[in-house]
Amino acid sequence: MKKIAFITGATSGFGKAAAHRFAKEGWSLVLSGRRIERLLNLKEELSVPVHIMQLDVRDADAVKQAVAALPDEFSAVTALLNNAGLALAPQGAAQVDLSDWHTMIDTNVTGLVNVTHALLPTLIKTGSGASIINVGSIAGQWPYPGSHVYGASKAFVKQFSYNLRCDLQGTGVRVTDLSPGIAETEFTLVRTKGDQSASDNLYQGTTPLSAEDIAEQMFYIASLPDHININRVEVMPTRQAWSPFAIDRD
């Protein structure tokens, strides 16, 4: 049976790496993102059937229409990789523009919900072996300064994944919250609105995760025997751990 992965945020980072990883195993791909040039280039790099769609996951109507218009050969989706997301405003909460909070909520929460809702009937029809892999973050579990709405949005991803599992009991559809730690992608460049030095400084002198590391986890989860569901995977590089509690002193 042909396997099809639907990947949001496929134009960079984890999504692009996942496209290459799943293609390596012969999966057909539905790739979505906002940057059509990158999607076209990615399609050229892959040797499997690929359907691309320029899509902003925040637009519920556009998501519904895109899913409804999937060509027959791409319609029986096996795995949904809810990867589209971003962090903004690493400053403290009192210094952040409200619009940045709204953008994170609209993308990380509303966008994920839009795509999941649109594809649920398809995934339920696929049944045993179908997977929903929601990309969360360690920020959804472990707070840190400057995480404010980003961390809260990823906590939503975790709890939504758990609750979705309850509602999908008996359908055969699996749900996983995949939560990476520090990973060297465009994440920090986006978060700092193009500050390359801030991105370079974050990863300098350590060994972060790579996009390929997370893509490997995605493929592993989606390829498990049908009777196995991994509820949550939290992945940190060996060189990352927790800090002591902060204490305000006189």
Domains belonging to the chain, first-starting first, are: 4-235 (3.40.50.720)
Please identify every residue annotated as catalytic: 150
Q: What is the pLDDT of residues 30-39, one digit of tens each?
A: 999 999 999 9
E strands, 50-181, are 50-54, 79-82, 131-135, 174-180
Positions in the chain short of pLDDT 70: none
Q: Is the pTM of this model over 0.85?
A: yes
Q: In what order do the strands lie in the sheet with 50-54?
A: 50-54, 28-33, 4-7, 79-82, 131-135, 174-180, 232-235
Q: Are 8 and 30 in contact (CB under 8 A)?
A: no
Q: Which tokens in the block code for residue 220?
A: 């592993």
Nearest to 154 by CA among 128, 173, 129, 181: 181
Tokens representing 77? 């989706």
Residue 113 is predicted with a pLDDT of: 98
State residue 218's pLDDT score: 98
Give the Å distances, CA to CA, from 221 to 87, 184, 231, 233.
25, 21, 10, 9
Coil/strand/helix, residue 228: coil
Q: How many angstroms separate the CA atoms of 148 and 104, rounded?
A: 10
Q: Tell me, what's the pLDDT at 1?
A: 75
